[in-house]
Amino acid sequence: MKATLLIALAAAAAATLAGCAGTNLDGMMAAGSSLAKAATLSDADVKSLSDQACAESDKTNKIAASGSTYSRRLAKVMTGLKNSDMPNVNAKVYMTKDVNAWAMANGCVRVYSGLMDMMTDDEVRGVLGHEMGHVALGHTKKAMQVAYTATAARGAAGSASNSAVAALSSSQLGELGEKLINAQFSQSQESAADDYSFDLLTKNKASTSGLVTAFQKLAKLDGGKSSMFSSHPGSDARAQHIQERINKGA
């Protein structure tokens, strides 16, 4: 959606609410400015928001201690994901039984201990390569624009200071992070991230078969529609696609 349309929508909303007692019109116009900003977030904006959202997420999750079994495993996993197109990679483990992993545009990579408990190092590496692919291919930037738009809209009755990227509150950053972590990507984006992971693993001379078995395990979790990945296509189909690439040697 173009910035001009976003501003028009915010202005219309402000006009609609003008007769309501206690409505903060300055806040409404600030939201319009914020919505317009979301449509044109620069790479620097996305990095700044990612820095803040990741830091807020780290505050609310228990991080595996340096030197712990999980941290040592992750360090080993990341050696097979070098020389990606994702800058300043900073990988950590969250101590939770949830099965998940994600990456943000600032290099923040997080994997949950629940996922590591059910997967081998090769499988974890394949999953993280996929998440890093979303960043490298620009999918995460688009997801940030959507998430920031939603956060800006929810803050429509707030003060004018909330229109600035750097002025998001802790609760807004938490909401932004949750939207990014739970972002749903299109079929083409998911497939592209799968292939990115395969290519990155190949470039690092790491096992690609782990990407296949990771999908197979996720398929068993919920009938091929893991909450970790978009169900379009399902995990089984994606495992088959990677296996076909392995068989072809490309």
189-216 tens-digit pLDDT: 999 999 999 999 999 999 999 999 999 9
* Average pLDDT, integer, range 148-174: 64
Predicted local distance difference test score (pLDDT) of residue 223: 52
In the numeric block, which tokens belong to residue 192?
């592209």
Domain spans, the chain: 3-47+148-168, 48-138+184-248
Q: Which of 24-33, 158-167, 202-211, 214-223 has the highest mean pLDDT?
A: 202-211
Give pTM, 2 decimals: 0.79
Q: Comparing 187 with 108, which gets the higher pLDDT?
A: 108
215: nearest Cα among 194, 196, 184: 194
Predicted local distance difference test score (pLDDT) of residue 183: 87
Confidence class for position 184, pLDDT limits 50, 70, 90: confident
**Catalytic residue check, 175:** no
110: nearest Cα among 68, 77, 138: 77
pLDDT of 15 higher than 50: no
Q: Comparing 4 with 98, which gets the higher pLDDT?
A: 98
* Average pLDDT, integer, range 232-241: 79
Residues pairing with 101 in the sheet: 111
pLDDT of 148 higher than 80: yes
Rounded CA gap, 7 and 30, in Å?
Answer: 10
204 phi-psi bin (left φ>0, alpha ψ -120 to 50, beta other): alpha
| CB-CB neighbours of 207 under 10 Å | 19
- Which of 24-28, 198-202, 238-242 has the lowest average pLDDT? 24-28
* Average pLDDT, integer, range 130-142: 95
Query: Under DSSP, is residue 234 helix (H, G, I), strand (E, B) or coil?
Result: coil
Q: Comparing 24 with 165, which gets the higher pLDDT?
A: 165
* Average pLDDT, integer, range 44-62: 94
Confidence class for position 4, pLDDT limits 50, 70, 90: very low
Which one is catalytic: 131, 175, 178, 190?
131
Rounded CA gap, 172 and 174, in Å?
Answer: 5
